[in-house]
Amino acid sequence: MDLDRALAALPANPRIVVTGNHATPWHTLRLVDERLAEYRLWMLNGQHGIPDRAGVTLETSFVGPGQRRSPRLSYVPSRLSLVPTLFAGSLSPDAVVLHTTRPRDGKVSLGVEVNVLPAAIEAVRRGGGIVVAQVNDHLPWTYGDALVDVEHLDVLVEADEPLAHAAVAPIDDASARIGELVAARVGDGATLQAGIGAVPDATMRGLIGRRGLRIWTEMFSDSVLALELAGALDTDVPISASFLFGSPELLEWVDGNERVEMVRTEVTNDPARIAGNPAMVSVNTALQVDLFGQANASRINARIHSGTGGQTDFIVGALHSPGGQAFIALRSWHPKADVSTVVALVDEPVTSFQMSAIVTEQGLAEVFGQDQREQARQIIDHAAHPSVRDDLWEEAAALGLA
């Protein structure tokens, strides 16, 4: 079947799930957009350049820079672990557009982005829809749930495009201090979850001297490669993740590497599966935290900025892991907004709460297991910027926390 015939057979205003994050199949997405006047484009973390015009509804459960602020955005709140449940019910897809390797032995690989795609493929097959794959020689071959039988693909579109790369950025002093504080709490044999960015990179790189570490994470970047090269990881345990993003060196390392196991989201982000890992350490960030230990990681002035993502999944899972810890790590002062990130009471919807500790460059505030007054004291004295501590104590008193 060719692409034109496949798209012509779709119902009016179809829902089309497309590989998101930094693995967007740009060539095929443009072809789809040229051929359909109206459709619902479902993508996780849609990047700049995705179609945003009249007739296109930008549908997602995690908002990216190409979707943020669009008047056509349709945000569907959901933990990432539950998106496959949405595909099986109220958000059933009519088509899935994948970004894959060239076929080998009757299979293709999804490469750097597995995430919710296996669930989307299963849902669209049950509903009689279509699966389109853009095959690209630049994608690395990865294993696990990344492998898809060619018989599940209706249309193959050949288009070689270079993948997006993340430059390894220098770690600033504040991020280095935060990473140092978190790393000091992590022992040999722990299991790690951390994303991309200066703080997670600083944390992971602070663990170079540990041994027997494991990786069970939603995504990873070059910091995991650094741990592998340093001999810090347990080589008898696969590196498990749902997607990855990083440098050309990282993509070269994962290509054909059976140590790397790509896993579908409803497994990687299942709190029970997360809890089954020994000494699970979860490191996430937020836009704001308050004196009750609540974190807002998704909204600014009530407008959706990102989404729940996997933060709640991993915080809950880590806290139930034997010896597990869940950290919210952020700078004490927001450089762009020029405000404290520690507030008395968040005025936005809460993304998560009841983490083990809140960490800023000022220090580490113990949260879990403390009464509410001690929580507030820890956060003010150890996490807040010194310039706002007096004000926070006044507000703490008004809230009954002092």
Q: Within its chain, how far is the Cα of 36 from the centroid?
A: 30
Contacts made by residues 143-146, CB under 8 angstroms, sequence distance 24+: 143/109, 143/258, 143/260, 143/261, 143/262, 144/114, 144/240, 144/261, 144/262, 144/263, 145/110, 145/114, 145/118, 145/262, 145/263, 145/264, 145/267, 146/109, 146/110, 146/111, 146/114, 146/262
pLDDT for residue 3 is more than 80:
yes
Q: Are residues 23 and 108 in the same domain?
A: yes
Q: Are residues 391 and 289 in the same domain?
A: yes
Q: Are residues 268 and 386 in the same domain?
A: yes
Q: Would you say residue 167 lies in a domain?
A: no
Q: Would you say residue 166 lies in a domain?
A: no
What number of other Cβ atoms are within 10 A of residue 297's Cβ?
23
Q: Are residues 141 and 256 in the same domain?
A: no
Q: Are residues 125 and 182 in the same domain?
A: no
Q: Are residues 25 and 154 in the same domain?
A: yes
Q: Would you say residue 86 lies in a domain?
A: yes
What is the mean pLDDT of the segment spanning 281-292? 95
Q: Which of 230, 227, 335 is nearest to 281 (CA)?
A: 227
For 275, phi then psi, to 5°, come to: -65, -20
Q: Are residues 282 and 382 in the same domain?
A: yes
126's CB contacts (< 8 A; 6+ apart) are none
Catalytic residue selected from 113, 218, 261, 361: 218
Q: Would you say residue 191 lies in a domain?
A: yes
Residue with tokens 């299991």: 191
Q: Are residues 332 and 187 in the same domain?
A: yes
Choosing from 158, 184, 199, the residue where a domain stops is 158
Choosing from 158, 190, 212, the residue where a domain stops is 158
Q: What is the CATH number of the domain that holds 95?
A: 3.40.1080.10
Q: Are residues 370 and 227 in the same domain?
A: yes
pLDDT for residue 81 is more than 90:
yes
Judged by DSSP in three states, 108 sits in: strand
104-122 pLDDT tens trace? 999 999 999 999 999 999 9
Q: Are residues 30 and 143 in the same domain?
A: yes
Distance between CA atoms of 314 and 291, rounded to whole angstroms?
A: 21
In Å, what is the CA distance from 91 to each residue of 2, 16, 265?
A: 26, 10, 17
pLDDT score for 83? 97
Q: Are residues 154 and 178 in the same domain?
A: no
Q: Would you say residue 301 lies in a domain?
A: yes
Q: What is the CA radius of gyration of the chain?
A: 22
pLDDT for residue 194 is more than 90:
no
Q: Would you say residue 215 lies in a domain?
A: yes
pLDDT score for 298? 92
Q: Within its chain, how far is the Cα of 150 from the centroid?
A: 28
For 177, phi then psi, to 5°, come to: -65, -45
122-174 pLDDT tens trace? 999 999 999 999 999 999 999 999 999 999 999 999 999 999 998 777 889 99
336-378 pLDDT tens trace? 889 999 999 999 989 988 899 999 999 999 999 999 999 999 9
Predicted confidence band at 199 (pLDDT cuts at 50, 70, 90)? confident
pLDDT score for 400? 97
pLDDT for residue 317 is more than 90:
yes
Domain that holds residue 293: 173-398
Choosing from 158, 183, 216, the residue where a domain stops is 158
What is the mean pLDDT of the segment spanning 199-221? 93
What is the mean pLDDT of the segment spanning 34-59? 98
Task: Domain count for the chain, please give it.
Answer: 2
Q: Letter for the amino acid at 231?
A: G
pLDDT score for 197? 79
Q: Would you say residue 163 lies in a domain?
A: no
Q: What is the CATH number of the domain that holds 319?
A: 3.40.1080.20
For 326, phi then psi, to 5°, come to: -125, 120
pLDDT score for 201? 84
Q: Would you say residue 319 lies in a domain?
A: yes
Q: Are residues 344 and 218 in the same domain?
A: yes
Catalytic residue check, 218 = yes
